[in-house]
Chains A and B, each alone.
Chain A
Amino acid sequence: QKEVEQNSGPLSVPEGAIASLNCTYSDRGSQSFFWYRQYSGKSPELIMSIYSNGDKEDGRFTAQLNKASQYVSLLIRDSQPSDSATYLCAVITDYGGSQGNLIFGKGTKLSVKP
């Protein structure tokens, strides 16, 4: 059973701080990694994707991937109250050229306090 694990939180940070969200996955063959944001009562929306080891930056968001440690993280700089949401980590495993399924973690709830 391939798994994606996240700390459910809630993670509480003050406005302006850096929020760090972490995710581990069980399948070493995983190749594609995504972070989604889901506001309460809304649908998930894609924030970032990452495929290679290292960092990928997009505005205030930085995704970090370490395939050796099977670990992917999302950093949110200068956190704003509007960033308060549940953040979902999602992973695809490539099955020898066949398309794998996008498996989601259960999400980490982030609360940014003004």
Chain B
Amino acid sequence: DAGVIQSPRHEVTEMGQEVTLRCKPISGHDYLFWYRQTMMRGLELLIYFNNNVPIDDSGMPEDRFSAKMPNASFSTLKIQPSEPRDSAVYFCASSLVYPSEGDYGYTFGSGTRLTVV
């Protein structure tokens, strides 16, 4: 099992540009989560999907952020236009069941470190 795969690992972009982050969850996992981590705010949930359907996007900062999951093996998080305050590490995680239903917790990807200059 290759685990949760994220790409790219690092992204440096100029303010105003579009950024697309990609995630491939573990096969068979029904839940996919996008988190953002900064020193100031820690890990924040942005959005999560169940069976490819967005369930809760209340953590998405603003309309500049959008996420899609066109099939069970692929999700994207897009920022357009990007701003310096979007600089963070973005993690994708997947789970077989929702964490409260068992000892599964999440399996996190390696993250994408985004720097907006």
Task: List residues of A whose CB falls within 8 A of some B CB.
Answer: 31-32, 34, 36, 42-46, 49, 88, 92, 94, 99-107
Interface centre among B56, B59, B103, B111 (most CB of A within 10 A): B103
Could you tell me the distance in whole angstroms from the C-beta of B97 to the nearest C-beta in chain A?
A: 10
Determine whether the beta carbon of A107 is less than 8 Å from that of B42: yes
Could you tell me the distance in whole angstroms from the C-beta of A85 to the nearest C-beta in chain B?
A: 14
Which residue of B48, B99, B111 is within 8 Å of A34 (Cβ)? B99
Determine whether the beta carbon of B105 is less than 8 Å from that of A43: no
Cβ contacts under 8 Å, B65 to chain A:
none
Cβ contacts under 8 Å, A92 to chain B:
99-100
Determine whether the beta carbon of B103 is less than 8 Å from that of A102: no
Determine whether the beta carbon of B108 is less than 8 Å from that of A102: no
Q: Which residue of B lies closest to A51 (CB)?
A: B100
Determine whether the beta carbon of A100 is less than 8 Å from that of B43: no
Q: In the complex, what distance in Å separates the CA atom of A43 from the CA atom of B111?
A: 7
In the assembled complex, B98 has its CB within 8 A of some CB on chain A: yes
Could you tell me the distance in whole angstroms from the C-beta of B56 to the nearest C-beta in chain A?
A: 7
Q: List the 7 closest pairs (A to B, CB-CB), nearest first.
A: A46-B105, A106-B42, A43-B108, A104-B43, A32-B100, A92-B100, A49-B103
Q: For residues 97 through 117 of chain B, which have their beta carbon under 8 Å from a beta carbon of chain A?
A: 98-100, 103-111
Cβ contacts under 8 Å, B42 to chain A:
88, 104-107
Q: In the complex, what distance in Å separates the CA atom of A36 from the CA atom of B35?
A: 14
List 16 additional contacts besides A43-B111, A46-B106, A88-B42; criterion CB under 8 Å. A34-B105, A36-B105, A43-B109, A43-B110, A44-B91, A49-B99, A92-B99, A92-B100, A99-B55, A99-B98, A99-B100, A101-B56, A102-B99, A103-B45, A104-B43, A105-B42
Q: Which residue of B lies closest to A88 (CB)?
A: B43
